[in-house]
Amino acid sequence: MIIIKMPTGMKMMAVAVFFHKKMSKILLILIFLFSCESIYEEIVETHPSGNKKIVIKYNGSKNEENLIGKFYYLDDGTKFNSISYNANGFIQSVHQMDETQKIPIGRSLRFDKNHNIISDSNYKNGKLDGQWTIYTPDGKVMSKTFWENGKKIK
């Protein structure tokens, strides 16, 4: 019996090739029971560095029924799973959300109309927790506050 490896993204369930020793012909019984469990990523936009910025992910083939979601990535690879848009179709904010409870559980960024970060905050269990920084349109720090369990501590 020979085991054949499947291409990346394919899960092999049963592949068998049998050879009969006394015959010149190969008796071939080949059963492919495989399922395609690959995630299809459509890179919609990249950062100037070439790293992915906005990605739409599908479970298998690219169609609405298989849509997993739309994801935003910082240039360093930090992933956000919730994106909000303004009326003009530009990204207004991105959040790291608990997908089951639909609450923020990590970093949250807000952008101005020129795509500059104007707010960078952190959440834990849906409440502000950690540093919250607000920036001027030219990227300078306007204010920093510190939060714990939804309450301002500094």
Residues 103 and 134 in one domain: yes
92 and 141 co-located in one domain: yes
pLDDT at 65: 82
Q: Both 89 and 127 in a single domain? A: yes
87 plus 153 within the same structural domain: yes
The conformational region for residue 50 under phi > 0 = left, psi -120 to 50 = alpha, else beta, is left
Predicted pLDDT of residue 37: 57
Cβ neighbour number for residue 15 with a 10 Å cutoff: 16
Q: Is 111 exposed, middle or buried (0-12, 13-18, 19+ CB in 10 A)?
A: middle
In the chain, how many domains are there?
3
Q: What is d(CA 85, CA 115) in angstroms, rounded to the nearest whole number?
A: 11
Identify whether residues 29 and 46 lie together within a single domain.
no
pLDDT tens series, the chain, 154 aa: 444 444 444 443 333 334 444 444 443 333 333 444 588 889 999 999 999 999 998 888 888 888 888 899 999 999 998 999 888 888 999 999 988 888 899 999 999 988 899 999 999 999 999 999 999 989 999 999 999 999 999 8
Tell me, yes or no, whether 64 and 7 share the same domain. Answer: no
Domain with 56 in it: 38-80
Query: Do residues 16 and 1 touch, judged by C-beta distance below 8 A?
Result: yes
pTM: 0.66
Does one domain contain both 93 and 72? no
